[in-house]
Amino acid sequence: MSTDTLDSPTRFGSGRAVKRIEDDGLLKGIGQYTDDLAPAGQLRAVFVRSPYPHARIVAIDKANAEAATGVLKVVTGAELVQAGVQPIPTNPAFRRGDGSPVATAPRRALAHERVRYVGEPVALVIAETLQQARDAAEAVWVEYEELPHVVDLEAATSPGAPVLCPEAPDNVAAEMRLGDAQKTAAAFGQAAHVVQLEIANQRVAAVSIEPRSVLAWVAEDGRLTLRMSSQMPSGVRNSLGTDVLGIGPEKVRVTVGDVGGGFGMKTGIYPEDAAVSWAAWTLKRPVKWIADRSEEFLSSFHGRDQRAQAELALAADGRILALRLRTLANVGAYATATGMVIPMVVGPWVQTSVYDVPLIDFHIRCVMTNTASTAAYRGAGRPEAIFIMERLMDEAARQTGIDRIALRRRNFVRPEQMPYTNPLGQVYDVGAFEKIMDEGLDLADWSGFEGRYAQSKANGKLRGLGISTFLEWTSGNSFEERITVDVKADGMIEVFSAVNQMGQGIATTLAQLVVDVFGVPIDKVRVVLGDTDRGDGFGSAGSRSLFTGGSALFLGAEKTLATARELAAQSLEASPADLDYAAGRFTVKGTDVGISLFDVAAKQPGGHIFTEHTSAVAGPSWPNGCHVSEVEIDPLTGAVQVVRYSSVNDIGRVVNPMIVRGQLDGGAVQGIGQALMEHMVYDPDSGQPVTGTLMDYAAPRADVVACEFVTEMNETVPCKNNPLGVKGVGELGTIGAAPSVVNAVADALARAGHADKAPLVQMPLTAPKVWEMLNG
């Protein structure tokens, strides 16, 4: 039983379900998103977008728009090129199959000479009001010469397909081969069982509550200053200052306030950010752009969109001998660095997952199509890879007749193999995968499924049971973080980190770590985030915020307390070793003589104790889990409903269980959304997106899950790569959910006498698709 009293500061420390400190302002309506700022003289921006998936820009007539009321400027891509605005760079390290550099058309702030997807920005209208800008945008006349287009992966790689850029006549921006093809082929030749699947990870949209937004102005110090909804402000500053505008990063400041969701979609710089920034820099007035929902569907980064031919070779006893993949990844019209890193690097790193796979042969091609670019979306490569592996494992069990739990148990990487190096050279520091699965099976009452199956059958429903056992990689491979800790004489401890809040509760979690060190009430801690003037950093992506940022903050806080101890000893004329510290006060041991932490700060120059600290974690973390789904299918309609969902998650030490559970469950809902309904669809004939609104795009709703989630966290295997023992958690639920739900649907089909259809299931498992599989 806890000994904390109601006024004990420790009740706000690690391990406690502390209410989020971010929420008070949001609930009172005093949060500050980008659109809440309206500086004097603010102008509004509206983009003219291409209605064609592929076309040559013949001419742009902007005379009527420029003459419209309230319009200050109408800008075209040709004008930006003439002004020296550079394309957003991609990653030159990747190569095409012939060894030539990565091939992609220049990704510009505004399209120049050609447009390559519906929604690509062609012109920018700046006016005094939003309505004036909208009206003027409609008056911009663009003459296009329509060109052949292609939106489908396989069509884009077929002979004679329309070409997006001359450097890639096959539309392959880059490709990579990993593993040992010869040894893998030999293993397949000796295998007792070979399982083959065609697996699609369909394109999805992030659908954050707050759309992308940017407000740019020239501050009194003469620097370009941005307030935007972003997960990575330092990256935007560097791209703008160095690569695009060429004014130098020291002349750019990026700040971030409240962010209404990011999910990876708000990482890096967008063309719209660059165009608005140039307009503000040129006009010397504040310029604001807030995307509407349709613009988000048209032009924000999409996720997934990969197709794989997957093969698994097994020995007679079910042990995995080799894994072979042939993957096409749709990177859209412009191959971004992130869009290529995800399928060619991050996905392969976790592809073998929790299983001891001795040999691999992967061939991955990044393909350009006349669609919006793909990049990070929650999980970013790990959901695609894990989905492949878990579908293969279930199908291997079905084809070999080996129980799917026994098959997994037989192939897990064992604790005594840790640290374990997987075929891609990634090192798992710790992991107890079989233990996590056993806990997951107990939590899900796996052994009691037959009774529930019989009840569903009596009610005229089909029921299926699905599992996914998996891991993921976190950190974004950005291991270093700088923080500051400032103990002030007024009784506040102000800390800064370059990680960002975007609805995930990171400010609360960081504050709890400060409470751990200083033992003060949490209302004495002020967390400052999102300002490139205060500090540089990678930002929040790859589930790294607590893993790296929290670790640096904890060590920095300890360093600050050690400094304060030295200063307190000087004030008390005692040795630092002779001082006790508790709840914000130093005392000489065995006496009541002491001084408060904040009085020590008041005695220092400037009235504060300030520490700047940089530290690095030793490597990535490898959170893992066992997620179990049960679904019911209405055979009359094909409608699928998740009726039981449970998970055990090894995420190391838990700082705030309420926040962690919210992250796990929220991620799972997004994974279920992909499994059952979400799909960003382009019409192949017209190249038009046909899911461009929330009337068409089926985002997950509360009624998708007809049950409460049962979610547990296992803390018995702390990460060894950071001082906190934590592992990333933000994407784990998304990664585990989709394969467990799809495996459950495949299981239901097999139990209903359609075992031949089980290998054929493809996301999203909409009611018409499932009905066809039952009746077609």
Per residue in 687-730, pLDDT tens?
999 999 999 999 998 887 778 899 999 999 999 999 999 999 99
Render pLDDT for 15-53 as a digit per residue (tens, 0 to 9).
Answer: 898 999 998 888 999 999 999 999 999 999 999 999 999
N-terminal to C-terminal alpha carbon distance within the chain: 59
- What stretch of H or E contains 72? strand 71-76
- Residue 227 forms beta bridges with which residues? 215, 255
Q: What is the DSSP string of 431-486?
A: --HHHHHHHHHHHHTGGGHHHHHHHHHHTT-EEEEEEEEEE--BSTT--EEEEEEE
**Domain total in the chain:** 3
Q: Residues 397, 401, 402, 404: what is their CA dihedral angle, to the nearest 10 degrees?
A: 40
Enter the tokens of residue 87: 């394309």
Q: Are residues 488 and 586 in the same domain?
A: yes
Q: What is the pLDDT of residue 540?
A: 78
Measured distance CA(501)–CA(510) in Å, rounded = 11
Q: What is the pLDDT of residue 537?
A: 81
Q: Are residues 99 and 141 in the same domain?
A: yes
Render pLDDT for 83-94 as a digit per residue (tens, 0 to 9).
Answer: 999 999 998 899
Q: Which of 249, 272, 299 is the last residue of a domain?
A: 299
Measured distance CA(546)–CA(501) in Å, rounded = 11
Cis peptide before 764 (omega within 30 of 0): yes
What integer is the mean pLDDT of 331-351? 97
Q: What is the DSSP string of 3-21?
A: ---TT-GGGGSTTS-PPPT
Number of H helices, E strands in the chain: 21, 28
Residue 403 in any domain: the answer is no
Render pLDDT for 243-292 as a digit per residue (tens, 0 to 9).
Answer: 999 999 999 999 999 999 999 999 999 999 999 999 999 999 999 999 99
Collapse the DSSP code of 581 into the 3-class scheme (helix H, G, I; strand E, B; otherwise coil) and give the result. strand
Q: Are residues 554 and 647 in the same domain?
A: no
Strand order in the sheet with 360-368: 172-179, 360-368, 320-332, 302-314, 193-205
Q: How many residues does the chain have?
A: 776
Q: What is the pLDDT of residue 1?
A: 34
More confident residue, 743 or 2: 743
Window from 165-169, 545-549, 666-670, 710-714 with minimum mean pLDDT: 545-549
Residue 695 in any domain: the answer is yes
Q: Determine contact, residues 213/35, Cβ cutoff 8 Å.
A: yes
Q: What are phi and psi of 577, to 5 degrees?
A: -70, -20
Residue 763's pLDDT band (cuts 50, 70, 90): very high
Measured distance CA(162)–CA(147) in Å, rounded = 8
- Residue 71 forms beta bridges with which residues? 127
Render pLDDT for 231-242 as a digit per residue (tens, 0 to 9).
Answer: 999 999 999 999
Asked if the model's pLDDT at residue 316 lies above 80, the reply is yes
Q: Which of 242, 264, 299 is the last residue of a domain?
A: 299
Residue 701: burial class (beta carbons within 10 Å; 0-12, 13-18, 19+): exposed
Q: What is the pLDDT of residue 211?
A: 97
Q: Are residues 465 and 480 in the same domain?
A: no
Residue 703 in any domain: the answer is yes
Q: What are phi and psi of 51, to 5 degrees?
A: -90, -5
CB-side neighbour CA atoms (13 Å) of 640:
34
Using DSSP bridges, classify how beta strands 287-290 and 252-255 pair: parallel, antiparallel or unpaired.
unpaired
- Residue 713 forms beta bridges with which residues? 649
Cβ-proximal residues to 155 (8 Å cutoff; 6+ apart), any chain:
161, 684
**What secondary structure letter does DSSP report for 258?**
-
Asked if the model's pLDDT at residue 131 lies above 90, the reply is yes
Q: What is the pLDDT of residue 10?
A: 59
Residue 343 in any domain: the answer is no
Residue 198 in any domain: the answer is no
Asked if the model's pLDDT at residue 9 lies above 80, the reply is no
Q: Determine contact, residues 288/212, Cβ cutoff 8 Å.
A: no
User: pTM, whole model, 2 decimals?
Assistant: 0.96
Render pLDDT for 157-208 as a digit per residue (tens, 0 to 9).
Answer: 999 999 999 999 999 999 999 999 999 999 999 999 999 999 999 999 999 9
Q: Which of 277, 299, 321 is the last residue of a domain?
A: 299
Measured distance CA(728)–CA(712) in Å, rounded = 15
Asked if the model's pLDDT at residue 491 lies above 80, the reply is yes
Residue 327 in any domain: the answer is no
Q: Are residues 112 and 258 in the same domain?
A: yes
Nearest to 218 by CA among 40, 32, 33, 36: 40
Render pLDDT for 592-612 as a digit per residue (tens, 0 to 9).
Answer: 999 999 999 999 999 999 999
Q: What are phi and psi of 476, to 5 degrees?
A: 65, 10
Q: Are residues 643 and 751 in the same domain?
A: yes
Q: What is the pLDDT of residue 544?
A: 83
Q: Determine contact, residues 689/297, Cβ cutoff 8 Å.
A: yes
Percent helix, strand, coil in the chain (nearest 5)?
35, 25, 40
Nearest to 383 by CA among 321, 464, 471: 471
Asked if the model's pLDDT at residue 6 lies above 50, the reply is no
Measured distance CA(236)–CA(541) in Å, rounded = 14
Find the CATH number of the domain harbouring 115.
Answer: 3.90.1170.50
Residue 666's pLDDT band (cuts 50, 70, 90): very high
Find the CATH number of the domain harbouring 769.
Answer: 3.30.365.10
**What secondary structure letter does DSSP report for 354?**
T
Q: Give me the chain's average pLDDT, please.
A: 95
Residue 180 in any domain: the answer is no
Q: Are residues 448 and 484 in the same domain?
A: no
Q: Are residues 525 and 580 in the same domain?
A: yes
Q: Determine contact, residues 179/344, Cβ cutoff 8 Å.
A: no
Q: What is the pLDDT of residue 5?
A: 45
Residue 716: burial class (beta carbons within 10 Å; 0-12, 13-18, 19+): exposed
Nearest to 274 by CA among 315, 318, 226, 229: 226
Residue 550 in any domain: the answer is yes
More confident residue, 143 or 475: 143
Q: Which percentage of the chain shows pLDDT scores above 90?
A: 91
Q: Which percentage of the chain shows pLDDT scores above 70?
A: 99
Q: Determine contact, residues 472/743, Cβ cutoff 8 Å.
A: no
Place of tokens 């001998």: 321
Amino acid identity, position 266: K
CB 169: neighbour CB atoms within 10 A? Answer: 11
Measured distance CA(278)–CA(291) in Å, rounded = 17
Residue 749: burial class (beta carbons within 10 Å; 0-12, 13-18, 19+): buried
Q: Determine contact, residues 205/679, Cβ cutoff 8 Å.
A: no
Nearest to 473 by CA among 95, 122, 730: 730
Measured distance CA(174)–CA(96) in Å, rounded = 4
Q: Are residues 483 and 443 in the same domain?
A: no
Q: Cα 298 to the chain's mean position, in Å?
A: 19
Q: Determine contact, residues 636/529, Cβ cutoff 8 Å.
A: no
Measured distance CA(282)–CA(269) in Å, rounded = 19
Q: Residues 336, 340, 341, 343: what is their CA dihedral angle, to the nearest 10 degrees?
A: 140
Instruction: State which residues form the domain around 712.
Output: 429-474+621-679+687-776
Give Dmax (Cα) for the chain: 87
Asked if the model's pLDDT at residue 374 lies above 90, the reply is yes
- Considering just the CA atoms, what is the radius of gyration of the chain in Å? 27
Nearest to 305 by CA among 196, 361, 380: 380
Q: What is the pLDDT of residue 479?
A: 87
Strand order in the sheet with 114-115: 114-115, 55-61, 141-146
b/e per residue 108-141 (b: at least 16 CB within 10 A):
bbbbbebbbbbbbbbbbbbbbeeebbebbbebbe
Helices 732-751 and 657-676, packing angle to 10 deg = 40
Beta strands in 85-234 (DSSP E): 114-115, 121-127, 141-146, 172-179, 193-205, 213-218, 224-228
Q: From residue 645, give the alpha-carbon distance in Å to each of 202, 440, 460, 678, 744.
A: 23, 11, 21, 19, 11
**What secondary structure letter does DSSP report for 550?**
I
Cis peptide before 9 (omega within 30 of 0): no
Using DSSP bridges, classify how beta strands 594-596 and 585-588 pair: parallel, antiparallel or unpaired.
antiparallel
Q: From residue 376, give the alpha-carbon distance in Å to each of 278, 340, 507, 510.
A: 26, 10, 23, 25
Q: What is the pLDDT of residue 699?
A: 94
Q: Are residues 531 and 485 in the same domain?
A: yes
Q: Cα 233 to the chain's mean position, in Å?
A: 15
Measured distance CA(71)–CA(128) in Å, rounded = 6
Q: What is the pLDDT of residue 541?
A: 78
Q: Are residues 449 and 583 in the same domain?
A: no
Amino acid identity, position 776: G
Window from 221-225, 250-254, 511-515, 699-703 with minimum mean pLDDT: 699-703
Q: Are residues 625 and 674 in the same domain?
A: yes
Measured distance CA(398)–CA(400) in Å, rounded = 6
